[in-house]
Chains A and B, each alone.
Chain A
Amino acid sequence: MIDVTLVKKDFPILERQVRDGHPLVYLDSGATSQKPRCVLDAERGYYEQHNASVHRGAHQLAEEATQAYEDAREAIAGFVGASADEVVFTKNASESLNLLAYAFTNATALAARGHDVDSRFVLGPGDSIVVTEMEHHANLVPWQEVCAKTGAQLRWIPITDDGRLDLTSVDRIIDDSTKVVSVVHQSNILGTINPVRFLMDCAHSVGALGIIDACQSIPHMPVDVSALGADAVAWSGHKMLGPTGIGVLWSPLLDAMPAFLTGGSMIEAVYMDHSTYASGPKKFEAGTPLVAQAVGLAAAVGYLTDLGMDEVAEHEHVLTGYALESLQRVPGVEIVGPTTNDERGSAISFTVDGIHPHDVGQFLDARGVAVRVGHHCAWPTCRRLGVPATTRISPYIYNDTHDIDEAVAGIVAAQKFFVGV
């Protein structure tokens, strides 16, 4: 059992007051999580004691910085059951997914010029890319771009009215033309946990590559990337207690993909007319890497490991059940997404009759309750479910039933204010 009272003490920001003295009730961890003191200390400690340019420099600090960076890679790989030589640090999950998308467009462009590339990454008219109707824009827009550049067709697995994937015709959507299946593990707007292992198996059965956006799963449940059956998994650091400015890409196919960002650090040898590239993660880490952020993220996975990811998942499962029940007891509140906590995470979207989400959010904010409002970077999902926007609470390890009660009380007060009930 997670002792939330103890956990809260590790997060300095949770002692803050906002909007004229209201204690902060932070329920926006789906957007970004707060950071425990150990993460802040790790970054500060790195800068105070070890800061230097990594992978170069003939001095002690450079050695220490390089060690800290590569230790961080080991720690983060270990957290998800991966091997460190398959883990790339990026700026954020969007960059991780763009790196993958560009592997396809770059391979396609290189193949057209007669270069030797892995044919699994070459696309053209007649090929298809499959996503779902509940993707974050980060796992949708890059694939739209790939299709525009290569002539491949974008397809999507539709969703049901209650926010689950509609798999009835999945075998017609993922077919012999499919070269990529890229799906979200846990929806950031609906909370739905998708059957990604099944979808990766579907992809492989037709010879396609399988990609998973794990931004909302890896922070919240135990995930062993190798057990998901994917060819690549992308996620961000800042949603799992880590700093902003760092994302992660895991893939055992790094050497099969063309380079993405090019320049310093990612090369093997450079001549005036051409260059050869490093192998493994280094090929995808051009320029000075995100050392302090990696050190911070390693501290974050250490913190989560100490809590125990099974415990984290159990805590959120219980809290999600409590929140779903509490919200649905309020007349006029409707959950957008699964209404029970079966195969569901803690991101809970809802609408309030007669009050626009922006106004709900503003009203909650005036009481110190921080939530997200809008389309949550999943605009097509909103459109499909017939809502222009939603209000979302997304509790995490430092939230308890009291925080949920505060949100619910705020919603009821908003109804009194705006609708007069």
Chain B
Amino acid sequence: MESLYQEIILDHYRNPRGRGPVTDFAGEAHHINPTCGDEITVQVALDADGHLVVGYEGQGCSISQASASVMTELVVGGDPAHADRIREAFLELMRSKGEGVPDDEILGDAVAFAGVSKYPARIKCALLAWMALQDAENRAGIAVGSE
């Protein structure tokens, strides 16, 4: 149990960071996990320096909500390419079936989710916010690769 619910995850679940709306957001995405009803809405904008501003609202299990909180901390203040690199690393970790060795240089607190990759039913929970962010960036026209 403790390998899944690392103290970092429980801390982000109990004290979420980055929750709340983004004023004048450029893109927004609402994602649902239809098997369990977890929901998240991510809003995104770029500041004058080209850095991401991200906020979210959601309800769901500790994994999905903590993942949103960790994600926000990691990507806010960086550019979209930076967010994309972290997302790719996180996706790879989630696909690792518990065998992945996370790089804490890139993933920071998100390394705590390594244990989630052993539980197929929970991977979607951990990815929910990340997928919603990608969608919101696409809609804002600021995703990596979009013009």
Binding site for B on A (CB under 8 A): 356-359, 362-363, 366, 373-375, 379, 382, 388-389, 417-418
Choose among B5, B37, B38, B119 the residue with the greatest number of A CB atoms under 10 Å from its CB: B37
Are B37 and A359 closer than 8 Å at their CB atoms?
no
Are A362 and B36 closer than 8 Å at their CB atoms?
no
Binding site for A on B (CB under 8 A): 1, 4-5, 10, 35-39, 59-65, 119, 122, 125
Q: Which 10 A-B pairs have the closest CB atoms?
A: A358-B61, A356-B61, A374-B36, A389-B37, A375-B37, A366-B1, A388-B37, A359-B62, A359-B61, A388-B59
> What distance in Å separates the Cβ of A130 from its nearest Cβ neighbour in chain B?
26
Are B122 and A362 closer than 8 Å at their CB atoms?
yes
Are B1 and A356 closer than 8 Å at their CB atoms?
no
Majority SS at the chain A contact face: helix
C-alpha gap A363/B2 in the complex (Å): 10
Are A373 and B36 closer than 8 Å at their CB atoms?
yes
> What distance in Å separates the Cβ of B102 from its nearest Cβ neighbour in chain A?
20
Are B1 and A358 closer than 8 Å at their CB atoms?
no
Set B4, B35, B62, B119: member contacting A356, Cβ < 8 A? B62
Q: From known contacts A362-B119, A375-B36, A379-B37, infer whether A357 and B61 are also in contact, taking CB-CB under 8 Å.
A: yes
Q: In the complex, what residues of B have CB within 8 A of residue A418's CB?
A: 5, 10, 62
C-alpha gap A356/B5 in the complex (Å): 13
14 A-B contacts (beta carbon < 8 Å): A356-B62, A358-B60, A358-B63, A358-B125, A359-B61, A362-B122, A373-B36, A374-B36, A374-B37, A379-B37, A388-B39, A388-B59, A389-B38, A417-B1
Q: In the complex, what residues of A have CB within 8 A of residue B4's CB?
A: 362
Are A363 and B1 closer than 8 Å at their CB atoms?
yes
C-alpha gap A388/B35 in the complex (Å): 12
Q: In the complex, what residues of A have CB within 8 A of residue B65's CB?
A: 356
C-alpha gap A418/B61 in the complex (Å): 11
> What distance in Å separates the Cβ of A413 from its nearest Cβ neighbour in chain B?
9
> What distance in Å separates the Cβ of A376 from its nearest Cβ neighbour in chain B?
10
> What distance in Å separates the Cβ of A136 from its nearest Cβ neighbour in chain B?
15
Set A366, A389, A417: member contacting B36, Cβ < 8 A? A389
Set B5, B36, B119, B122: member contacting A357, Cβ < 8 A? B36
